Structure 1
Amino acid sequence: MFQSQNLLQTFDRITDYWSPKVIGRVNDQLLKVAKLKGQLIWHAHDDEDELFYVVKGHMRIELKQQVIDLHEGDFFTVPRGVQHNPIAEEECWILLIEPASTKHTGNEITPQTRSLDEQLA
């Protein structure tokens, strides 16, 4: 049986910042929701693009050459191989769309890094 989901209600599952949860799949792309506050880490995804869509709040994505400011309703795709550092001064809710093969923090490992299994839980 098919069933719809309410995007805003999916954020009820999020208890930790920087800990995305998979809420759906479109072909080989995963849809993930996350709450952000503070900063993650400079990292890149060598083989995958990563789309950030701001559902609530404000964030910025630092790139080596510029800073992308995102407000509610804005989205930005970080191209594969581009170093980036997501930052949210206050709590921000985002939807991520990225291939299932995307590692949370690329090749960088930190205490905030989440495995795909953790994101599926």
Structure 2
Amino acid sequence: MTDTVNLAEKLGTFSDHWSPRTVAQFNGHDVMVVKVQGEFVWHKHDETDDLFLVLKGLLEIQLRDRIVTLRPGEMFIVPRGVEHCPRALEETHLLLMEPTGTPNTGDAKTAAPRKLA
């Protein structure tokens, strides 16, 4: 990577929800932006933690025992193996980081394909 990455510009290049776009890579990890709205699916990642950083909007991460609410500038890490279901009542913009190739549903058969922004 030789230039800065403007996250707002990258988010402006697409409108679909729940379809992360890779904006950079480092140490075998993808740095992604995604627009979300509505409810995702209950899932877990057996091999990795799941990091969510809210850039704009409000995200609820439903866990089996509680709901974590994130506002802009707030971050939460779901530990590996913990079932969770992200939900956004309004369009919300997120930054995600995870090992390259990690399926967003925890299962390669149901995961959204990776796209570049």
Task: Place the TM-score, normalised by the shorter chain, in its bin.
Answer: over 0.9
Deviations 1:53-76 (A, max 9, x none): 000000100011111000000000
Most deviating of 85-94 and 24-33: 24-33
Gaps of 5+ in 1: none
TM-score when scaled to structure 2?
0.92
Matched with 2:75 is 75
Letter in 1 for 2:61: I
Identity, in percent, stands at: 39
Q: How does 1:1-121 map to 2 (within 5 A)?
A: 2-107=2-107, 113-116=111-114, 119-120=115-116
TM-score (norm 1): 0.89
Measured after TM superposition, the shift of residue 107 of structure 1 is: 2.2
Alpha-carbon RMSD: 1.7
State the one-letter code of the partner of 2:55. V
Letter in 2 for 1:12: G
CA distance in 2 between partners of 1:11 and 1:89 (Å): 18
Deviation (angstroms), 1:51: 0.6
Amino acid aligned to 2:116: L
Instruction: List 4+ stretches of structure 1 deviating above 3 A.
Output: none
Name the count of aligned residue pairs: 117
**Counterparts of 1:101 and 1:114, CA distance in 2:** 11
**Unaligned 5+ residue runs, structure 2?**
none
